[in-house]
Each structure stands twice: as C-alpha cells, then as structure tokens.
Structure 1
Amino acid sequence: MAAYTTLLRLPLYIALWICAVVLLILTSVRLNYTLNLPKGDPLNGGIDFFDPIVAELLVCSLLGLGTIPFVMHWAPHPISSEASANLFELAALSILWLLWLVGCVVSTSIWPNLAFCAQFSPCRVLTAMMAFAWLGWIALVGLIVLAVLTAVKKARPARAPMMVEWAAQPRYGNNAFEPVSGVRRPQTAAFSEGGRGGRGMYDV
C-alpha cells in the first residue's frame, strides 16, 4: 500500500499544479477583461465590474501552487514528526479542497451553459476556467484519499510478534550420564552401609 501511495502522490500533485497554473492564467485573463471592458462591449452595459468568484478561484490556484516547495522539500517542513506531518498535509488539502469546491460550484451555478456564446473569446475563457477548476478539484480528491490511507496505516498499532514457548520434558535414558538438552544429568545414587565390617554398595 505504501508503494502505491508513493507512486500516485507525486503525479497527482503535478496534475494539481498544472491545473493551478492554467487556472491562474485564465482567471487573470477574466479579471483583466471585466475590469477593463472595451468600448462598445455589451457585457454589463459596458461598465467595468469585478467577479468575486473568479478572484476566489485565483486565490485557490495560488494556494495550490504554494504546496510545491513543501512537496518537493525545497522549504523546511514546519513539523518534524512524520505522523504529524501527514495530518498537517491532510488538513491543508481538506481546506484547499473546500475552497476549490466552493469556487467550482458557484462558478458553475453562475455560468451553467455557455454554448450559446462559444464564438466569443470571453465565453471560451470561462468554459476553460471552470473545466480546469473541476480537474484540479478531482486531483485534490485523489490526494486526500491517499493522505487518509497513509494516516490510517500509520495510526494502526503494530502487531506484537508471536511468542511461542517450548517446554522441554526431561529424558532419561539407559545411560546414567546421557546428555539431556546439552546438559549431562547424572542419576542420584543412594549410598547404604552394611553391617560392621560390611562393604558399602550403591543402590541404583
């Protein structure tokens, strides 16, 4: 599992960064257009205006690009513990996911269908902006899933090694000095004396 999460993590981050770069460009183009409407443009009666949701997506793209130094280890990580760093990454991704989702949902609700004006450049910019916003959100979903799997794996207690006790029964052979488990165990000899003048003998 750890190998799969490691292999998938960097490609998902790269996909997020690509979407963030494209989203940054598209939102900048959109804001520049709405804040500097050309003369004779029928949009909003020719009066310059500001799209808050476009600015929100611009901030999301900047936050997404802000993860590059930490993922590539170009900047020192604020947390040294590996488990705490994983939880920090999960929390940061969750906040970014929520902000990105708000931008995607609100922009889609404002411009649900722009097919009627596809011949105009501003409409094509909006369509591409929402498409890359959703693609970036999908990449964030994948990163959060991997972060959750990693956190669960690290939080799981390690299994204790199985302890097996072997009970060796003593073995007694015909030989009084037969080695048992590497130890020479002599038999106990009882010494008894005979009568006066008698010889001692061993009773085995």
Structure 2
Amino acid sequence: MRIAPYILCLVAFAGSTGCLSVCHNASRTLCKEPKQFSWRKDRCQSMALYGSWAGQAWQERLAAGCDCETPDFAAGFQSGFVEFCYAGGSGEPPPVPPRPYWIPGNRASPYSDLAEHWFAGYRLGAQVARDGGYRDQAVVPSALPPACSCKADAAQGCDACGGFRMEAIEAYPEGVELMEPEVVPRPTST
C-alpha cells in the first residue's frame, strides 16, 4: 500500500505536463478517427463504385457501336476508367501492362498486340472518365480553388476556368537570395 501515493503523484505529474493531451490525441487518432473513416473500407467501396461506373460506360460504348470488342481492350478500358477516377493523373497508361501480359508466350509476335489493345483501352477508359466528369464526382470537396487545366495565357491568369496556375505562385519573392548551407567537415579519427 506504500506504492499508492507514488502512483497518485505520477498520475498528477503526468496530467500537469501535457500528457493528457497526448493521451487524448492518441485516443482520437487510434480509436475514434478509424471508426469515422477507414481508408481500407473506402478503397474497397470506391473501387467497387468506380468499377460499376466503368461497366455502365463500357455498355454505353458498345451500344453506340464501338468496334473495340477484344477482351484485352475491355480490360484496359476498365482499368483506365477506374484508375483515373481513383487517382486522377494524365490518363496515360502505366509504362508496362499488367502481369498477364508479361508471360513469354504473350510477348511473341501475334500476341504482342494484346498489350497494345490493353494500352488503347486504358487510354479510352481514362478519357471517357475525364470527359464524363466522373473524377469530379469521386474527389472529396476542398476549399481550395481548382488547379487550372485550361490553355489560357499565363499573364491573363485563369479567369476562363476559375482555377489558378501553379506556375503563377512564386516560390520565393523577388530579391530574396538563397544561400548555400555551410558545410562543416567531420572530424577524422586517426
């Protein structure tokens, strides 16, 4: 029973040093916020939603008479659409196709077109997602103005689209000189 006063003093001391705010922040970060938003669950739900959008867009493409009915083109379309909705970007496919196209048999001459079909489908899927405004529906709203994507003159600003140009933001005001950091040699032991 002699330890109880020490524990009481330790708790009182911990409370006076700001540890309660650390405990509060840890509780909020580790317990409360994951219940409100789980990135794993969000990724699964988002990919399923974007996949259903891609399926609908593909069916509309086929109904409109798209002459691109190869399975590889369809797989590329699906991937491009979903990836553009989820991550944005330029709409260009990754440098290499998915792993099934890496198989030596798929690299040979008659089958090497399969990867090209996938790349073409990816580009079209991303373009359809961009043109259809699906990416705008997929992002969380922000208070920041959108980045400018128009081709307006940089001197005019972006009044045409309402966004702002990243190039227009100066990294350093004029007249500020950047100094090289001083390099101090390390002592050598002999």
Query: Same fold by TM-score, threshold 0.5 exceeded?
Result: no
The structure that has the greater radius of gyration is 1
- Normalized per residue, the structure richer in strand is 1
